[in-house]
Amino acid sequence: MSFANPLPSWALTLVVGAAAALAWHTYRGLGGWPTRRSVLSGLRFLTLLLLIVIVMRPVTRLTVTDTRDVVVPILVDTSRSMAIDDAGGARRIDRAREFLSNELLPGIGPHFQAEVLSFGEQVAAAEPATLAATARRSDLAGALTTVRERYRGRPVGGVIVISDGGDTSGGLDLSGAEGTVPPVFAYGVGSADADGDREVLSVTAAEAVLDSSRVDLAVSAIAHGAPGTSVELRLLENGRPREVRHVKPPADGGLIREVFQVSPAAGSATIYTAEIPKTAAELVPENNSRSVLVQPPSRPRRVLLVEGAPGFEHSFLKRALAADRSLEVDSVVRKGENEQGADTYYVQALRGRGDALTSGYPPDAQSLFGYDAVAFANVGGEQLTTAQLEATREFVARRGGGLLVLGGQSFLNRGLVGTPVEDALPVELDGRVDAAVPAGPVRGGKGIVLTDAGSEHPVTRIAGTAEESRKRWEALPPLAAAAAIGRARSGASILATTTAGGASRPLIAVQRYGEGRSMVFAGEASWRWRMMLPSSDHTYETFWRQTIRWLALGATDPVTIYPPSAAGAGDEVAVRVAVRDAAFIPLRDADVDVRVSGPDGLLQHLRASTEGRAADDAVFAARFVPVQAGLYRVSVSARTGGVDAGSASAAVLVGGADIEMSDPRMNIALLERIAAATGGRLIESGQIPALVDTLRAATPAAALAVRKDLWHNAWSFVLLVGLLAGEWLLRRRWGLR
């Protein structure tokens, strides 16, 4: 305690002494009653002493914390999903506004600087009364990033998120969030159930391996709140009804999976739509349909077939591939040696490509990269130089081409073991897995068995259904032999096995390697499938055409348009283009023009610029905002040094699905993950006082020194009045005035 108006000690002594003398002198007439004089003088002295203390203003100093300058951003989801009417008889946005206005702001406003922000595609300041669920998307990840940047350098106690947990950004990375993002306190709005809602979850299409071939279209759907009731599933092709199925879900909320077989039109993109008819009780009718775009094969694929020696396989395989108009096949067969001991070759190639094959293989990467797929049939590592083998590996990894190695002779006498090509293959070739298996082909195969992966893969799907494909494979004539290759590499898929030497061994294996694909066929004499089956059976042709097409389809051109992510009308669409030269060396200095034609016929000219990627990459990007849903056609042309570097075209589907309205249930799990990752927690109605305490405890508040007057209170007044009243009552009692 101290005094705001202190007196020097000598002055204080003088004043107190004067007060005592004055009090004693006041009752000098009571000399005959010393006791009465002492009591009354004492009361008067205490009154004067209290007044002296009050005039000197006794105070105490307290240290308090001030959080009024600490910001607490309140993010309110205003995406369209917040308009769903499932929040206890009200829309989600109405429930959010009620919680914000009636509980949250009154509870934290007096203690912190609360700022209300709406978020959808972007973050903006908002007033509670004007909040509306109109945003097309809910970018929760972007909103948290914006808050971090918006309040950089200012004290932030925490971020309060009011949302149904929907996030359509696809980029919510919570790793390392704690410490970099303020703690998030999430308030969930909406129902965790979706009774009465039926939704098409996904529509995916396999690659169109052959022109006019049948393509599997996989549809996933779900129905809530109607156990035992069949769901009508419709398939439309370019808006025209194609097929209708009535499917009973396995359980309430159980996943429905249906596979449709379609034949896309050759030469043009085809839009397939899966839909469930809307009902009056539908919770969210916007998620009842989804569409997928099936692109046609863009151009004939160039294939190089290299045979280690003349044989039946080469003749049968060459005829099967030559009959496919979508393939351009060049072939090289090693015939033997001339008088000088040099290898001689029989070359069949289209005009302009034969000269590069006179030595048995393209002499450089640029010549090799002109192909989309390469097939080695009974080719050993000694047939090619190390540079050619290295170029082949780069052909798969960098150029994105396909590589097929077939025939038992390819795996004999170490075959391709130890060569650069070995790393690109989906299986190990050195036999370390099971040394008991002989190194050469093992006779006595007992048939071919598809694996689960093989029954669904476009290479081995040779019949209408997976079960029919299994039966047809098992019924094929036996192979002459099967090489005892090693186990599959990590990431590879075994599509089929065969029994050889008393053990089941991989027969067909595939994998992605770098940008391309590779496949191994370990059997010998598959031409038996053509010779030992009726002439009407085309299993041999179908399998090998599908194989080559699948390997070649993954190969990109020097100028390639990458498929953009799903987008709706009003969303920004990024067109990304890779530009390389004939050897697939990136051309970062290219000028890239992009032309976009929409369903309304309007043409947009865009200039693409390089993205901030690795120095060895040349990916350009141009962006546009589609004003309506539908099919957009994109054309790209590139030039470098004033010389044409290539062109490409593609179709882009806008509005194939309403991503914002998919899975309308409140995603409380996502909100909980965000809160936990940032050091916050979920909050509920009625918990605002506890939230304020939590924010205070974690807030770097300012410390303030506050001076408090001790005299300025009711007790000082009561004491003063009590002393004066006591003196007055005693005076009256003793007959004094």
DSSP secondary-structure letter at 354? S
Cα distance between residue 647 and residue 258, in whole Å? 38
Q: By the 8 A CB rule, do 410 and 447 touch?
A: no
Low-confidence ranges of the chain (pLDDT < 50): 431-446, 702-705
CATH number for the region 301-553 comes to 3.40.50.880
Instruction: Give the per-residue pLDDT at 434.
Output: 37
User: 348 has which bridge partners?
Assistant: 331
CATH 3.30.465.10 assigned to domain 559-659? The reply is no
Q: Which of 292, 268, 127 is nearest to 205 (CA)?
A: 292
Q: Which CATH class is domain 198-297?
A: mainly beta
CATH superfamily label, 71-192+669-697: von Willebrand factor, type A domain (3.40.50.410)
Neighbouring C-beta atoms of residue 39, cutoff 10 Å: 17
CA separation (Å) from 278 to 199, 271, 275, 283, 707? 10, 21, 9, 10, 70
> Tokens 């509920």 belong to which residue?
684
202 three-state secondary structure: strand
Cβ count near 165 (within 10 Å) = 25
- 676's enclosing H/E stretch is helix 668-678
- Per residue in 356-396, pLDDT (tens digit) is 898 899 999 989 999 999 999 888 888 889 999 999 999 99
The secondary structure element, H or E, covering residue 498 is strand 493-500
Q: Kindly report, residue by residue over 134-163, the tens digit of the pLDDT.
A: 998 888 888 988 998 898 888 888 999 999
Burial of 294 (0-12, 13-18, 19+ CB in 10 A): buried
